Amino acid sequence: MLYLFSYSDLNHSLFIFLALFFVLFYEAINGFHDTANAVSTLIYTRAMSANLAVIMSGIFNFLGVLLGGLTVAYAIVHLLPNDLLLNENPQHALAIVFSILLAAILWNLSTWYFCLPASSSHALIGAIIGVGLTNAIYTGSSLVHALNISKILNVFISLILSPVIGLIISGSIIFVLRYITNKYKKFNRIHMTPLEYEKSKGKKNPPLSIKIALILSSIGVSYAHGANDGQKGIGLIMLVLISIIPASFLINLNTTRNEIIDTKNTLNYLYKYYSNNRINIIKKNNNKKLYLNYSHITKNIKEAHILLNNVYDYKNLNIQKRFQLRHLLLCISDNIDQITSFDINKNEKNFLYKTKKEILKTVEYAPIWIILIIAFSLSIGTMFGWKRIVVTIGEKIGEKRMTYAQAMSAQITATFSIGIASYTGIPVSTTHILSSSVAGSMLADGDRIQKTTMKNIIVAWVLTLPISILISGFLYSIALFLIN
């Protein structure tokens, strides 16, 4: 990590340090902002003490970051188009980075202060969009080119649908549990609140089987949160380093000789595939756009071949060639996405997906030290400030405390929803999914929802994107004014 500061002047080193500090601060805020999602159900069902629950959550958040992969991380990086991310002016790059980070941090702290479980993901994505829009206005360029529209639309769809899905699935689990317990009355205690169970059995703690189920589902939420939100922190650091120190981070300079050979071979296989299949597929789909896609992708593959000719160590490429290689590989990846959207058979799609994964290894990577410091920041963040949001989720969504069944259904829903999103590379909101899952489980049980709290949460959800867009756009505007 220290090598980042070894070849920069003092001012540049200071900016790199500050940028990394802000990312880690954002991730720590994300930790205590979202810890409540994993521990509130444990605390309010008395399955575990607050301190122990938070420590456990921190540990599994850490493991989630370490083992969660990088698909979500680069979904964040690719929200900004390559040309904006790789600005030739280092001052503009710094302005982009700090505008995004400050906007996300300011909104996260504001919603935490007012005890609102708003989305850190929404804040971050809104901040990125705000910078892209402001840059388009400033340069007079098209909004289509200012933002990676296809990536942003995918993220928007996931952010909108995930809480709805959470509400439906969690409510469905409650119906299933009701059906089972109606047949087997001895399991009916799962629908008790902790206070009801204490009055009935004279015991404060839940039954052992319920306690184990609650703890395991909470571990699942913590791990899934680390895997999804931790990747966002990794993506942020890579965005910072690619912007500020492009020479070292445009591509993975530690790629081995054998991995470079594999990339070359993959490009060869891809070229042969297009040469042998494009006429049949074009005829089958009867689409002129598809013909243009094929022409474009074969051109990019040829250029990548020429660039990589006799190259077995990326460190031997100068910065212009590193930029060119990154640009070509990302374009080839985008072209593959376009081809797979047309009517081709399953085997061909699988081949193209595997090819895309192999090609992107050169540009979608993260050094282990980045993964470790993000994991550490997120897990440390879970130890502080969690209580404010826990109170909202645990006490103020429904008009009575959660039952054991409601807590389990919400956590199981959140674990699988966030876990699947992390695996498929979709940045979702842990807060949205769990809050909606809690509400869904309570509605399925016929409990009334506290209208004031839900109204405040919904307002925070609705306002997060536009306000973070405005904040980052405003900050970036000021930065551009000062630069020029």
3 state SS of 398: strand
Give the CA angle between residues 381, 5, 325 to the nearest 5°.
95
Distance, in Å, from the CA atom of 36 to the CA atom of 50, rounded to the nearest integer, reads 10
Q: What is the pLDDT of residue 462?
A: 78
* Contact yes or no for 130/476 (Cβ under 8 A): yes
Residue 194 phi/psi, 5-degree rounding, is: -55, -40
Q: Which of 26-40, 119-133, 359-373 has the lowest mean pLDDT?
A: 26-40
Query: Is the pLDDT score of 345 beyond 60?
Result: yes
Average pLDDT, the chain: 80
* Contact yes or no for 81/128 (Cβ under 8 A): no
Query: Is the pLDDT score of 259 beyond 90?
Result: yes
pLDDT band (50, 70, 90) for residue 63: very high
Hey, what are 61's tokens?
Answer: 């958040």
Q: How do residues 359-414 score in pLDDT, each as one tens digit? A: 999 999 999 999 999 998 888 877 765 565 555 555 555 556 778 888 888 888 98
Q: How do residues 227-236 score in pLDDT, each as one tens digit? A: 888 888 898 8
Interval 32-37 mean pLDDT = 66
Distance, in Å, from the CA atom of 378 to the CA atom of 380, rounded to the nearest integer, reads 6
AA letter at 140: G
pLDDT band (50, 70, 90) for residue 293: low
DSSP3 helix / strand / coil % (the chain, rounded to 5)? 80, 0, 20
pLDDT band (50, 70, 90) for residue 272: confident
Q: How do residues 75-91 score in pLDDT, each as one tens digit? A: 888 877 766 777 666 77
DSSP one-letter string for 178-234: HHHHHH-GGGGGGGS-HHHHHHHHS-SSPPHHHHHHHHHHHHHHHHHHHHHHHHHHH
How close are the terminal C-alpha atoms of the chain, in Å?
32
Longest Cα separation, the chain: 77
Q: What is the pLDDT of residue 181?
A: 83
Query: Is the pLDDT score of 179 beyond 60?
Result: yes
Q: Which of 227-231, 237-241, 434-438, 470-474 has the lowest mean pLDDT?
A: 434-438
pLDDT band (50, 70, 90) for residue 435: confident
Residue scoring higher pLDDT (70 or 392)? 70
In sequence order, what are the residues at sequence separation of 6 or more whose Cβ sits closer than 8 angstroms to the Cβ of residue 93?
87, 243, 244
**Residue 114 CB coordination number (10 Å):** 12
* Contact yes or no for 422/228 (Cβ under 8 A): yes
Query: Is the pLDDT score of 282 beyond 70?
Result: no
